[in-house]
Amino acid sequence: MHKKKVRTMVFLSFFVVGCFVATSYATYQVALQGVWKQITTTDLPLTSDNIYSEIQKDLLMPMFISSLMANDTFVRDWILHGEKDTQAMVRYLKQIKDRYKTFTSFFVSDRTKIYYHAEGILKTVSEYEPRDVWFFRVREMEPEFEINVDPDMANNDTMTIFVNYKVFDYNHKFIGATGVGLSVSFVKALIAKYQNQYNREIYFTDKEGKIVLYNAGTFIEGMFLKNVPGIGNYADAILNNEFYQFSYNFDNKKYFTNTRYIPELGWYLIVNQSDTVSVSKLKIILYIDILLSLLIAGIALFVSIRVLNTYQSRIEHLAQIDTLTGIANRQTFRETIEIALEHAKISQKPLSFAILDIDDFKDVNDTYGHLAGDYILVELTKRIQGVIRSGDFFARWGGEEFVVIFNDCSVNTAFEIADRIRQVAINNSIVYEKQAIVITLSIGLTSFSQHDSSIEIIKRADKALYSAKTHGKNSVCKM
């Protein structure tokens, strides 16, 4: 009986161990599938979104600076008055370069073909000079700006990312090109930072599939996407889709790839990751489970295997656009107003700011429903866009509130524009499902002084809005 009992216990022990090992292995396989799914549906898309947000902060900021330069009345007036004071333009470009810490800043006149930069006059461009082709391409292109990678003659031919922006006179006639540049080495350092932070391979290609930006040592200069091992077979699919995901096996490893098109740059962002790290962690868990099952053979073990999400920290996506109205959102506004205030300080140009609030909007929602409220917000946005100037910045602050930055605009002129916005709102009812809904606006307006911070100017506009509300609504109040 004793031997039989021992045999039974041994059998049960092996049976339990076998079951435990089988369960552990099955759990490992399920967890592996879960890791693959998480990488595909969560980790890579979040990384791509976060990098895109970082690009907007680090690379697209020069686009906004170039836009301000192209629309600066100083630049236009200086050109239209015959480019007489060369040093005035040089000082302006140097101020832009130093203030925003760009690699270079420039302006090329269409009338004289002179290339001005922060250190003086560089040269006179010619359509017969291959290195000047960019200017004549910009002059003829339909978009207002482009992003181009070229050697910078003003900085020892350092490879530079240029934001080339067209400058028009007040009759929308092309009069030159201006903008700023970032060193490619600086951008490559950003990519290296992203790769170290996320432990993923990150690079950019142009529309033809040429790899234009990457970390040092990753690719060969001039390499195309179709020549990248493992990814080359998917090159056409990547270049023909705004978003694309796939996985492939290479060198005994499984890789997952997420791509997205960045329209502002005209480039594709490629984020590539192997499952090596995640699978290694899962294998360690499997070996520990098997070891434990051997040590406690004969004892029923209930082990819960929890797959740790090593990448659970979620980076807040810097949504730049309000999804309902299609205009800039609050986060974009906070970044923009800081730049606008700095620009106003440099150029000594007036700047005004307004907060707009729909009167009794809760009553509208309660009476006609929230879908009607959303419709009103969209329609009102269109109307306001039809009133404000092209150089003004318009954003949704939240709920039924909007904000407008009136660049190069005195408070009196801004008051006239704000009052036209108010009149457009009340004079034309909004028809929703055959119901005419009348809305009014209260607007708080203020102007910028040299010592104002963004918080101070917002507080002052908000105080003016409160005054408009307490004095009967449907009005514009300035202070």
Q: Report the pLDDT value the prediction gives residue 479, as an integer from 0 to 100.
A: 85
Q: Which domains does the chain have, with CATH numbers?
A: 62-185 (3.30.450.20), 200-274 (3.30.450.20), 330-478 (3.30.70.270)
Q: Looking at the annotation, which residues are catalytic?
A: 400
Q: Which residues of the chain have pLDDT under 50?
A: 1, 300-318
How many CB atoms within 10 Å of residue 229? 10
Give yes or no for a contact between 196 and 88, defined as CB atoms under 8 angstroms apart: no
- 3 state SS for the chain: CHHHHHHHHHHHHHHHHHHHHHHHHHHHHHHHHHHHHHHHHHHHHHHHHHHHHHHHHHCCHHHHHHHHHHCCHHHHHHHHCCCCCHHHHHHHHHHHHHHHCCCEEEEEECCCCEEEECCEEEEECCCCCHHHHHHHHHHHCCCCEEEEEEEEHHHCCEEEEEEEEEEECCCCCEEEEEEEEEEHHHHHHHHHHHHHHHCCEEEEECCCCEEEECCCCCCCCCCEHHHCCCCHHHHHHHHCCCEEEEEEEECCEEEEEEEEEECCCCEEEEEEEECHHHHHHHHHHHHHHHHHHHHCCCCCCCCCCCCCCCCCCCCCCCCCECCCCCCECHHHHHHHHHHHHHHHHHHCCCEEEEEEEECCHHHHHHHHCHHHHHHHHHHHHHHHHHHCCCCCEEEEEECCEEEEEEECCCHHHHHHHHHHHHHHHHHCCEEECCEEECCCEEEEEEECCCCCCHHHHHHHHHHHHHHHHHCCCCCEEEC
Q: What token pair was written down for 307? A: 């797959």
Give yes or no for a contact between 304 and 31, defined as CB atoms under 8 angstroms apart: no
Return d(Cα 248, Cα 264) in angstroms, integer. 29
Q: Report the pLDDT value the prediction gives residue 417, as an integer from 0 to 100.
A: 96
Q: Report the pLDDT value the prediction gives residue 302, as an integer from 0 to 100.
A: 42
How many CB atoms within 10 Å of residue 253? 12
Measured CA angle at 108 (ends 173, 266), to 5 deg: 80
How far, CA to CA in Å, does 434 sit from each of 339, 340, 359, 364, 429?
43, 42, 22, 15, 11
- 3 state SS for 26-71: HHHHHHHHHHHHHHHHHHHHHHHHHHHHHHHHHCCHHHHHHHHHHC
List CB contacts of 42: < 8 A, sequence separation 6 or more. 311
From the list 392, 397, 400, the residue with the least C-alpha distance to 417 is: 392
Return d(Cα 424, Cα 439) in angstroms, integer. 10
